[in-house]
Structures are given as structure tokens and as C-alpha cells.
Structure 1
Amino acid sequence: MSQYNRGDQVRSMSPKKYKLSFTAASLSISQSITIATEYLQCEDWDETKRVITEGNLLQSRVRSSSLRTYRELAQRLQLLTKDQLEILVDGAIQEQKHLLWYAICKRYTFIFEFAREVMRDKFLAMDYELTELDYAAFFDKKADWHPELETLKPSTKGKIKQVVFRMLREAGLVSEDNRIRRTVLSERVVQVLQNDKPESFEIFPVLLADLESSSP
């Protein structure tokens, strides 16, 4: 095989670049519910965008900021099924947090992999302290396969880490001092995730017994 062909083969095997725009918004519970509520009323994302932005329902002082926040949150919410959106709008606060975390992980492979490969693995090993060293080791490992991570400015790397940990805390999956919390999903959240993407349970610090007891 020629050097040129080997280069093509390596490039073809390279994983897709990570989407990292999640730094524009954290879990954003109230804003996400506002968007989901409007969408369920019309079931049209273009109309939802018009109503949200024209009415400044996200309460941003600058229109460009409102559009940026809407775009970020809508891209996450569009990955949820109608059943999931309905629970997001009408559910208990913890159900809302769990579904928003699910949408984030579905949208961002970087966060999905961190949740599954680091947080959940540590939880199953009964090692409940999620440290910055854990994150740094994960980041460095992923950077070997994702050169876009290596080229980030230090400030951007710091912002990404900050937002990831903030989301974990806002979702109730880790404590304020970054201790992993055992999560119990409600019966209906288990059902709508099972119907959509069963492997999604890997993004939560859950025990199999808890999932079985929550199954209808």
C-alpha cells in the first residue's frame, strides 16, 4: 500500500469531530421547558423558534444571545421523542433533569462518553469521587483520537470542563463536591428511554436492580 493510500485509510478511520457547542448553555431547565412547551402546542420547530424569539420568551437582553441560546437548546430537544418532551414539560423536577441530561448526552458524544466511560464505571466500581484528574485522563485519551481537542485554547478547555461538571451537578448526578450520586429513574422515564435507546441507561449512575424495579 502506498504512503498516500495509507494516509487516506487513517483519515477514513478517524472518528467524527466532537460537537462542543454545549458551552453556550448548561442544563437550562426553565428555558428548555419553555421551548418544549411551545413546541408541543404547534409541533413545528420553525414556528416554535418564531414565537420564542419574537416574544423574547428566553428573557435575553440581547437578541443575538437569545437566538444562540435557542439554537443550542432546540438542537438538544429535537432529539427527544414526543413522549419524552411531554414528561419534560409536565414531570417532576428530577424527571426533567434526567431527560435534559439524556438529550445532552444524545447530542454530544464527548459528554456521553465521559458519562459512560468515567462516571458510570467509577460508580459501578464503588469509587464515588469524580475528580478533575479523572476528567484530565479522559480528555487526554480522547485527544489522541480527536486532534480538534488538542488545538483548543487553554481557556476553552477550562470552559468545557467547567460546563461538564456544572451539568452533572445540575442534573443531580454528582454533589456539589463532585461525589457521584446513585440515581433512581422514575418508571415512566425508564419506559420512554427504553423505547427510544436502551443503551442510554449507561449515562446514569444507576444499578440494574433499580432499573428492574422501575420497569412497568
Structure 2
Amino acid sequence: MADTKNKLSLTLRPALVRENLIIAEEYNKFKDWNQVRAEVLGNNLLQARTESTLKTIYGEVSKRLMNLTDDELALMTESDADVKHLVWLAICRQYLFTYQFAVEVLSEYFDKSRFQLFTEDYIAFLNAKAEWHSNLDKITEQSRYKAQQIMFKMLVECDLITKEKEILHQHISPKLRELIQQKNADDLAIFPGEYS
């Protein structure tokens, strides 16, 4: 988790799996983030309706993807089975709050055979973190609610939970496991049932 920020912040964007794939493909072509940005924005590869939306989505997704190694980015475009796991990995490496939620709630619950997740679990986790991080304590109720909605949406999009909020056992491919272990084996703890 060395790449994660010390300050806890909430993501207000969903997983954006399709957009991650498009940007990862461009990165694998050019290996240069400036060139990727020029291609994506210049050709509206994300098919956004407005330029400001295009820039916002590109900014968020590229910021997340920059947390992955070149090998991890290559795997994202080579293995359909690993895409959602890599999107989740990139999000968790970018957002310490999400990383900690994955480890301290999702994986811990799974390890204790508590497979049902409730909205109250998220609220309790956020409140506990807000006691130690003043920036979380200052966010509005509306922002808290939006972040909560997005967290559950991301979990569903990345196939970590069902729409009924049941935690799913994750099966990481041997190749992805190897790549994660090369960078930081502790990152496996963000996948319920995969940390050993």
C-alpha cells in the first residue's frame, strides 16, 4: 500500500471499467501518459458528450491506472478474467479509504463467514474513520450519501458483491497474484478470500 495517500478521501466516481480498458489499451500502445492523454482527449475515445466530462473521466481513470505497474496494465488488456480485479486494485491503491474498507470490512467479514454487507456497515466504517481524519468529518451529508452509493456501485461493478450486497469469494488468476506479490503482497487483502 506504499502508493496510497496518507489522507483519507472518498471517490465520487464509479469503477468505469470500460473506460479503464480503453485508457489501458492506449497506455500499452504508447507507454507515455502524455501521449495517452492526447489520444484519448483528441479523439474522444471515451465517447463523452462534452469535453469537460471527457477531461474529468480521463483525469480520474488515468490517476487510478498510474498506480498499476506496466505489467499489470498489460495484463488488463490481455486477460478478460483479470480486468475487474485490476480496476479494483487501481482504485484501492489510489484511495486509502477504499483500500481500508476492502481490507477491514469486506475481507474481514468474509474471513468470519459473514457474507452479507449492509449500508450500516459502510456508515459505521466511515464514522469510525472520521474520528481520526478531520477531512472526512467535514464532508456534507449529501457527499457522504453519494460516496456510499458509489462505493456499493463499484463493489457490484467489480464483482466483489452481488446487487443484494452479498460478498463474493474472489479467485485471482495466478499471473495477477504473482504481479501483486512482486509489488506488494499485502494488496491481496483487498480481495475477499484471497489473502493467505
The offset of 1:16, in angstroms, is 3.9
Give the structure 2 partner of residue 149 of structure 1: 136
1:39 to 21, 27, 48: 27
Deviations 1:191-211 (A, max 9, x none): 111111100011011145xx6
Whole-Å separation in 2 of the counterparts to 1:34 and 1:62 = 18
The offset of 1:148, in angstroms, is 1.2
Task: Give yes or no for the alignment of 1:129 onto 2:113.
Answer: no
TM-score, with normalisation over the residues of structure 1? 0.86
Q: Is the 8 A contact 2:188 2:194 kept in 1?
A: no
1:62 to 50, 55, 63: 50
Give the structure 2 partner of residue 7 of structure 1: none
Task: Give yes or no for the alignment of 1:138 onto 2:125.
Answer: yes
Task: Give yes or no for the alignment of 1:160 onto 2:147.
Answer: yes
Give the structure 2 partner of residue 115 of structure 1: 102
Whole-Å separation in 2 of the counterparts to 1:202 and 1:52 = 33
Whole-Å separation in 1 of the counterparts to 2:100 and 2:136 = 14
Give the structure 1 partner of residue 159 of structure 2: 172
Whole-Å separation in 2 of the counterparts to 1:47 and 1:175 = 37
Whole-Å separation in 2 of the counterparts to 1:18 and 1:122 = 22
Structure with more contact order per residue of length (Cα contacts < 8 Å, sep ≥ 6): 2
2:7 to 17, 21, 25: 17
Q: Is the 8 A contact 2:162 2:168 kept in 1?
A: yes
Code of the residue aligned with 1:110 in structure 2: it is F
Whole-Å separation in 1 of the counterparts to 2:39 and 2:6 = 34
Larger Rg: 1
Aligned-pair Cα RMSD in Å: 1.3
Q: Is the 8 A contact 2:6 2:96 kept in 1?
A: no
TM-score, with normalisation over the residues of structure 2? 0.94
| Unpaired stretches in structure 1, ≥5 consecutive residues | 1-14, 212-216
Deviations 1:148-203 (A, max 9, x none): 11211111100100111111111111111000111111111111111111000110
* Identity over aligned pairs, percent: 31
